[in-house]
Amino acid sequence: MPVNLPAPTASSLLPIEGIEIGIASAGIKTVGKADLVLIKVAQGSSTSAVYTKNAFCAAPVTLAKQHQQETAPQYLLINSGNANAGTGEAGMAAAQQCCQVVAELADEAVNTVLPFSTGVIGQQLPIDKITQALPEAFESLQSDNWFDAAHAIMTTDTVAKAISKQIEIDGKTVTVTGMAKGSGMIRPDMATMLSYIATDAAIEQSVLDDMLHNAVEQSFNRITVDGDTSTNDACVLIATAQAGHSVITRSDEDSAQKLYRVIAEISQQLAHAIVRDGEGATKFIAIDVEQGANAEECRQVAYTIAHSPLVKTALFASDPNWGRILAAVGRSGLTEFDLSQVAIYLDNVCIVDKGEPASNYTEEQGQKVMDQEEITIKVELGRGSANDTIWTCDFSYDYVKINAEYRT
């Protein structure tokens, strides 16, 4: 059961002028279930993307990066059910063949197609199933298919993740719609699980790139479910330039800020949705580390807490066993770490003050916070003014069940 994560409704997802989406059932996951998404991007659009830093990145990631460097993308092809990762030369050939068939059907060059895959690692992509289903994907291309697409890209997700927002720029309404998938193998590094965000705004390429990188740094790159960085992470931002306002450049500070904020908000909501729907999650946890010498050490402490199986199982049990948080902070590896400056809070309840157990803390106070579905663990390091926040979930029986039975 996801934590406070309502499913999106079809009507809440606004189409983006210049984006058409086709859906098909290739039979990669379950026969009859949608598992293929084709996104058609109008000419004149700008596209930015970030990809996993896992050294064993999947064939489609390698190919998408290469195609994106060569020319402006016109088609994004996404399949779920198979990651086409760890598949060697045959996997690369399969990704190329999928792009080739899309290019032929669209009468475009092969490098205008970006391939994306998500699902089981280490099995060859069923190319025949995909190429046979591609005509269905082309036939179903339409602008209001975000809802079905958000469902078709799911793997172990229990709830679809998609959202729309609108702002005004130069008197024109600008729409942003985004979707994401992800639930396990979540510890995005410079990228995310699969996420696609599109807007009809007109944005200069370098500004678009900055917007995506900044948004990702505040969202997908600040979440973890299990510490496992995927081989297939990718986040794509498309601006179709159809909203009617003039192109946003670096000098348009106000408009750029407005648009950046809404893209960051959507990214953060989608990233939080991935954690709320984390495999087996029963709690949504923010870990806020403050007063660090720099943001990097704040993240180091935060991720040590977030990846501690003992902290995560205590959160699952609603057990205010704060000794486990303290032990995680203590092993996080900060140099010249003066514990006498450290404070730790569960929400607003101080549990450690100046490195010692808080004198007026009671187990009842801790229990009250732990019984909640959403908890903030705050650590003050007392060694500077930097801070950072990450989000994670707890570790339950169901995490083990989902991942022990994943391929059965």
Nearest distance from C-beta of residue 312 to a second copy, angstroms: 9
Q: Which of 47, 192, 231, 282 is the catalytic position?
A: 192
> Nearest approach, Cβ of 311 to a second copy (angstroms)?
8
Q: For a second copy, which is the closer residue by CB, 2 or 184?
A: 184
Three-class HEC string of 262-316: HHHHHHHHHHHHHHHCCCCCCCEEEEEEEEECCHHHHHHHHHHHHHCHHHHHHHH
The b-or-e profile of 77-104 (16+ CB within 10 A means b, else e) is bbbbbbbbbebeeebbebbbbbbebbbe
CB of 359 to a second copy, least distance (A): 9
| Residue 231 · residue 187 · CB < 8 Å | no
32: its two tokens: 């009859």
Q: Which lies closer to a second copy via its Cβ, residue 48 or residue 54?
A: 54
In this complex, which beta carbon is closest to a second copy, that of residue 45 or of residue 82?
82
Dihedral angle computed from the Cα positions of residues 97, 101, 107 and 111, in that order, rounded to the nearest 10 degrees: -30
Nearer to a second copy, 199 or 232 (CB): 232
Measure the CA angle with vertex 145, ends 143 and 146; round to 5°: 105
CB 75 within 8 A of CB 39: yes
Active site residue 224: no
* Shortest Cβ 253–a second copy spacing (Å): 37
Parallel, antiparallel or unpaired: strands 284-292 and 234-239: unpaired
Least distance to a second copy, CB of residue 265, Å? 28
CB of 67 vs a second copy, minimal distance in Å: 21
Q: Give the helix/strand (H/E) hosting 172.
A: strand 172-180
By C-beta, is 237 or 329 nearer to a second copy?
A: 329
In the complex, the residues that contact a second copy under the rule CB under 8 A are 53-57, 83, 85-89, 120-122, 184-185, 187, 189, 226-231, 307-310, 313-314, 316-317, 319, 321-324, 326-332, 334, 337, 339, 352, 355-357, 395-397, 399-401, 403-408
In the block, which residue shows the tokens 């799911």?
154
Residue 362's DSSP bridge partners are none
DSSP state of 9: P
Choice between 11 and 408, CB closer to a second copy = 408
Q: Which residues are catalytic?
A: 192
